[in-house]
């Protein structure tokens, strides 16, 4: 009797969301797993990365990357194990990361995946500190923000996947780290466990007053993940020659009206300050450098990576919303197989 072939469950984009994605924007389908062509491998996806950028990929119109087409498997980073290989470059049993999509099995070309050494760190960390969020924090802060010892770095989304690393790297570089996060638990976490100098709870405190209290000399580097009124509050508090790093704008991704532009942008003029945006793929040719340094910090216990793992691929539509409600604690991932 032949073994029953497993089915590949996958979420496909059914319609472009207006505002927050709804269950009806997705279809959950099952199909036989794809077969690797010559030169490709088949990956059993174990963890799927849930990231704010996914919201942008669902919109029509080209941004830095093509939108996901209606009917296509939703684009997502993932990590898993090679279970079949038609390539001499990757063997069965190796762990890899890549744009595998929201599904349980994916074919990939070895040139398009990263290797994950699970003797260095558990697989979920390769979607976190040793993955896209880690490299986003590393290059955004160090290449654009360029904090120096004694400067004050403020980061929003400070308990999130990127923000928690930004503050820790800032501390490693001798800067002060002030985090803006929602709720007492997250604020306590970044100060008590991650070593931030101060936290501002934007849900309970006045952010401008918090910045005035914790940044008496002004903000030298502001790393923005949220946009909206918090970006404006930081702009109003810039120090001379401050650097604002535009990494994301999660407060605006589901906006039904136009994006809220930063009304305080003329603070750049007054302070000879700059505001620079980036996406991590801009640093594709320097990933090895960033990953090596981050792995060293993790191994030395100088950086802490936290993942918030939700069980089951069927949880995808609801889990994704936790990014926008701020319910996740650390890097949000789906665990979809072993």
Region binding its own copies by CB under 8 A among candidate stretches 147-155, 206-214, 274-282, 323-331: 274-282
Q: Please pick, from the candidates 19, 39, 184, 261, the single residue that binds its own copies as defined by CB under 8 A.
A: 261
Region binding its own copies by CB under 8 A among candidate stretches 5-13, 157-165, 270-278, 308-316: 270-278
Q: Locate 113 and state its tokens.
A: 């995946």
**70 contacts: CB under 8 Å, gap ≥ 6:** 13, 14, 15, 16
Rounded least distance, CB 258 to its own copies, Å:
5
Q: What are phi and psi of 125, to 5 degrees?
A: -65, -25
Is residue 254 a contact point for its own copies (CB under 8 A)? no
Evaluate whether 197 touches 178 at the Cβ level (below 8 Å).
yes
Q: Please pick, from the candidates 70, 263, 292, 299, the single residue that binds its own copies as defined by CB under 8 A.
A: 263
| Lookup result for tokens 């802060």 | 141
Rounded least distance, CB 280 to its own copies, Å:
11
Q: Locate 330 and state its tokens.
A: 């650390």
Residues numbered 192 to 231 that lie near its own copies (CB under 8 A) are 227
Evaluate whether 90 touches 107 at the Cβ level (below 8 Å).
no
Region binding its own copies by CB under 8 A among candidate stretches 89-97, 168-176, 246-254, 311-319: 246-254
Evaluate whether 230 touches 200 at the Cβ level (below 8 Å).
no
Residues numbered 275 to 304 that lie near its own copies (CB under 8 A) are 275-279, 282
Region binding its own copies by CB under 8 A among candidate stretches 85-93, 103-111, 147-155, 261-269: 261-269
Rounded least distance, CB 92 to its own copies, Å:
38
Rounded least distance, CB 279 to its own copies, Å:
6
Q: Please pick, from the candidates 63, 66, 148, 192, the single residue that binds its own copies as defined by CB under 8 A.
A: 63
Secondary element (H or E) of residue 306: none
CA distances from 172 to 71, 168, 169, 211 (A): 45, 6, 5, 21
Closest Cα to residue 126, out of 137, 116, 135?
A: 116
Is residue 252 a contact point for its own copies (CB under 8 A)? yes
Secondary element (H or E) of residue 274: strand 274-277
Q: Locate 73 and state its tokens.
A: 């498997």
Q: What are phi and psi of 156, to 5 degrees?
A: -95, 165
Count other Cβ atoms within 10 Å, centred on residue 318: 10
Q: Please pick, from the candidates 51, 81, 197, 232, the single residue that binds its own copies as defined by CB under 8 A.
A: 232
Site string for its own copies, 11-50 (x = CB under 8 A): ----------------------------------------
Q: Please pick, from the candidates 265, 302, 322, 337, the single residue that binds its own copies as defined by CB under 8 A.
A: 265
DSSP β-bridge partners for residue 108: 41
Q: How many residues at the interface with its own copies, by CB under 8 A?
A: 32
**337 contacts: CB under 8 Å, gap ≥ 6:** 44, 45, 46, 80, 104
Is residue 249 a contact point for its own copies (CB under 8 A)? yes
Which residues of this chain interact with its own copies, rule CB under 8 A? 63-64, 227, 232, 246-249, 252, 258-279, 282
């Amino acid at each position: 009797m032949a073994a029953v072939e497993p089915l590949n469950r996958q979420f496909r984009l059914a319609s472009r969301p207006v505002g927050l994605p709804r269950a009806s924007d997705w279809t959950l389908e099952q199909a036989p797993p794809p077969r690797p062509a010559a030169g490709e491998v088949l990956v059993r996806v174990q963890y799927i990365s849930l990231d704010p950028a996914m919201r942008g990929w669902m919109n029509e119109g080209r941004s830095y990357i093509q939108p996901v087409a209606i009917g296509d498997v939703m684009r997502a980073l993932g990590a898993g194990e090679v279970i079949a290989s038609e390539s001499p470059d990757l063997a069965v049993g190796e762990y890899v990361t890549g744009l595998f999509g929201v599904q349980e099995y994916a074919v990939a070309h070895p040139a398009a995946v990263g290797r994950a050494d699970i003797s260095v760190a558990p697989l979920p960390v390769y979607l976190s500190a040793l993955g896209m969020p880690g490299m986003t924090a590393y290059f955004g802060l160090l290449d654009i923000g360029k904090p120096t010892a004694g400067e004050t770095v403020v980061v929003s989304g400070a308990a999130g996947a990127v923000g928690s690393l930004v503050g820790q790297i800032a501390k490693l570089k001798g800067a002060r780290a002030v985090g803006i996060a929602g709720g007492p638990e997250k604020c306590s976490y970044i100060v008590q466990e991650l070593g931030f100098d101060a936290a501002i709870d934007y849900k309970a405190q006045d952010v401008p007053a918090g910045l005035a209290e914790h940044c008496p000399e002004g903000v030298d580097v502001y790393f923005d993940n949220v946009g909206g009124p918090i970006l404006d509050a930081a702009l109003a508090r810039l120090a001379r020659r401050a650097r604002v790093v535009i990494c994301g704008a999660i407060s605006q991704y589901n906006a039904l009206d136009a994006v809220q532009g930063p009304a305080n942008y003329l603070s750049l003029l007054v302070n000879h300050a700059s505001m620079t945006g980036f996406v991590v793929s801009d640093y594709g040719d320097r990933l090895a450098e960033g990953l090596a340094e981050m792995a060293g910090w993790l191994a030395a216990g100088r950086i802490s990576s936290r993942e918030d793992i939700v069980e089951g691929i069927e949880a995808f539509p609801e889990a994704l919303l936790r990014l926008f409600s701020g319910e996740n604690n650390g890097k949000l991932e789906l665990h979809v197989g072993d």
